Structure 1
Amino acid sequence: MDRIARLEDWYRRVYIEGDFEAVGTLFTEGTRAEGLMDDMQVGPEDIGVFAMALVNLVTTPRFRIVKAVESGDWLAALIECEAERPSDGKPLRALGQLMARFEGERIAEAYNTFDFVSFFEQMGLLPQHTVAIGMSGQKIC
Structure 2
Amino acid sequence: MPQKFQTLQTYFDEVWVKGNVEALGDLLAPDARTRGIMGEMPFDQDDMTELVSMVRELLGPIEVSYPVTVDQDDWLSAVVEIKSHSAINGDPVHVFNHVIARFDGPRMIEIYSGVDSLMLFEQIGLLPDSALAVLLGGTRLS
TM bin (shorter chain): over 0.9
Matches within 5 A, 1:68-107: 68-107=69-108
User: Is the contact made by 1:75 and 1:100 (CA closer than 8 Å) also made in structure 2?
Assistant: yes
Identity %: 27
Report the Cα distance in structure 1 between the residues aligned to 2:90 and 2:128, rounded to whole angstroms: 19
Any stretches of 5+ residues in structure 1 without a counterpart?
none
Aligned to 2:45: 44
Work out which structure has the larger RCO, using CA pairs closer than 8 Å and 6 or more positions apart in sequence.
2
User: Is the contact made by 1:77 and 1:97 (CA closer than 8 Å) also made in structure 2?
Assistant: yes
Aligned to 1:15: 16
Report the Cα distance in structure 1 between the residues aligned to 2:21 and 2:69, rounded to whole angstroms: 24
User: Is the contact made by 1:24 and 1:45 (CA closer than 8 Å) also made in structure 2?
Assistant: no
Task: Provide TM-score, normalisation by structure 1.
Answer: 0.93
- Calculate the aligned-residue CA RMSD, in Å: 1.3
User: Is the contact made by 2:26 and 2:107 (CA closer than 8 Å) also made in structure 1?
Assistant: yes
Any stretches of 5+ residues in structure 2 without a counterpart?
none
Measure how far apart 1:29 and its partner are: 0.9
Moved over 3 A (4+): none
Aligned to 1:28: 29
